[in-house]
Amino acid sequence: MIHFESVTKRFAAATALSDLSFVLPKGGVAGLLGPNGCGKTTALRLLLGLYLPDQGRVQVFGTPPNSQSSDRIGYLPEERGLYRRMTTTEVIRYYARLKNSRASPSEIDGWLDRLGISEFADQKVESLSKGTAQKVQFVATVVHRPQLLILDEPFSGLDPVSRELMRQAVLTLAGDGTTVLLSTHDMEIASRMCDTILMLNDGRKVLDGSLSEIFASFADDSIKIELDGAVPDLTGVLEVLDLGTVQELVLDAGVDPTDVLRELMSQTKLRRFELSTPSLGDIFLRMAKS
């Protein structure tokens, strides 16, 4: 579906992406993660053909991005934008025509009903709340039934009910065969939705693989402890994270947690401990520091 091969993109003296390679197969939900300025937006614009790589190759559906591939893609940018004087239904129909598609009234009504905004079908966009307009733009993005759906922070600013409605809508599309690329800072959403993860930092790939493989690679590499006094210097401990009453010890690769606990108990009184698998958010923070 998507293939980046040794892609580098520069802007004057700044390198936004450096030697980026990854493959996104057809189907499922892939997460594009990373801190601000890591190159996520540049990667999306290369994918859409808005930028050309300085080095390397970008392919979508087996060819470089072009007008034909664009019609098969739905893109919801982080910067929202709708024609404010059109009604909800008019703007959805217009966006479908831009993709050489025609949305039937039943299709539009079905999407509006799914997202709980049917009552706004004939209202002008300028009269809608920010959250409602965001859901309208989502419908306008997907109504032409794209094969590849690119979502850039689609849940920001939505209330919990709206977030769940849109999350379920995205998963339904993925279940029906649409490939979804989700760019987000929300690690909870990513961990609940994504099958695979691509994480960038400073324009370079730092993590790439299935969510299950990534969690397995970080499994039991940390210990959460509660003890009297400060944590002493311990062999094999890379970092101590202060979580309030609990401290998390991040272990070096190959270190046996029982050896660390044995050394710890020889030096201080241990009140509680547990082996800990980091959340996706914890992994994100670690990789962003690396």
Residue of 185, 130, 129 lying closest to 153 (CA atoms): 185
For every residue of 96-144, DSSP letters joined together read HHHTT----HHHHHHHHHHTT-GGGTTSBGGGS-HHHHHHHHHHHHHTT
> What does the alpha-carbon distance between residue 54 and residue 151 come to, in Å, rounded to a whole number?
25
Look up residue 177 and give its two tokens: 């065969």
SS3 letters for 29-58? EEEEECCCCCCHHHHHHHHCCCCCCCEEEE
Report the predicted TM-score, pTM, of the whole model to 2 decimal places: 0.85
Rounded to whole angstroms, the Cα distance separating 55 from 203 reads 14
- Predicted pLDDT of residue 290: 62
Alpha-carbon Rg for the chain in angstroms: 23
Residue 239: its pLDDT value, please?
85
Q: What is the pLDDT of residue 283?
A: 82
How far apart are alpha carbons 14 and 25 in whole angstroms? 30
With respect to CATH, is domain 2-215 assigned 3.40.50.300?
A: yes
Backbone angles phi, psi at 109, to 5 degrees: -60, -40
Quote the CA–CA distance of 132 and 260 in Å, as a whole number. 52
- Both structure tokens of 133: 């307009």
User: Where do the domains of the chain lie?
Assistant: 2-215, 218-289
Mean pLDDT by 10 residues, the chain (290 residues): 96 94 93 90 95 96 92 91 93 94 92 96 95 95 96 90 94 95 89 93 92 82 85 89 85 86 89 84 75
